[in-house]
Amino acid sequence: MNGVFSSMDISTSALKAQRTRMNVIANNIANINTTHDKDENNIPYRRKQISFKEAMSGPIGKKSLGGVAVYSIEDDMKPFTKRYEPGDKDADENGYILGSNVDVSLEMVDMIEASRSYEANIAAIDIAKNMINSTFEIIA
């Protein structure tokens, strides 16, 4: 029975990680048109990307897999986009404005992937829950 609860813990950790991933993606999409930093400098929003790591649990020396955790949320160092708008106050001497390096199509693909992973982990939790219920039915 402990293995069933462990699988639920692993799936729960994945749900938390994917929720964080979806929040990062939503933040990226929300800031796609941001052309200035918080200090009003002409520095566009830089896309954030998330990475995961294994989450270990158990006593020291006898660690077992415990799921997944967010390892880091870092800036994507791909170059900013450039738009030709010579009349804009933020345009450089050649008439270009720097824009965010967020690609909406990439963000949407990432969001679909995160959503599918979320759904898969919900299904895994439901299966574990059904196994527990079936075990109780057999015992009773």
Question: pLDDT digits over 100-136, tens only?
Answer: 999 999 999 999 999 999 999 999 999 989 988 888 8
pTM across the whole model: 0.83
Under a CB-based contact definition with an 8 Å cutoff, are residues 75 and 46 in contact?
yes
pLDDT for res 4: 64
Residue 59: pLDDT band with limits 50, 70, 90: low
Q: Where are the domains of the chain?
A: 2-139
The model's pLDDT over 5-23, given as tens digits with 9 standing for 90+, comes to: 778 888 999 999 999 999 9
Per the structure block, which two tokens stand in for 131?
Answer: 């196994």
Q: Where are the alpha helices (DSSP H) in the chain?
A: 2-30, 104-139
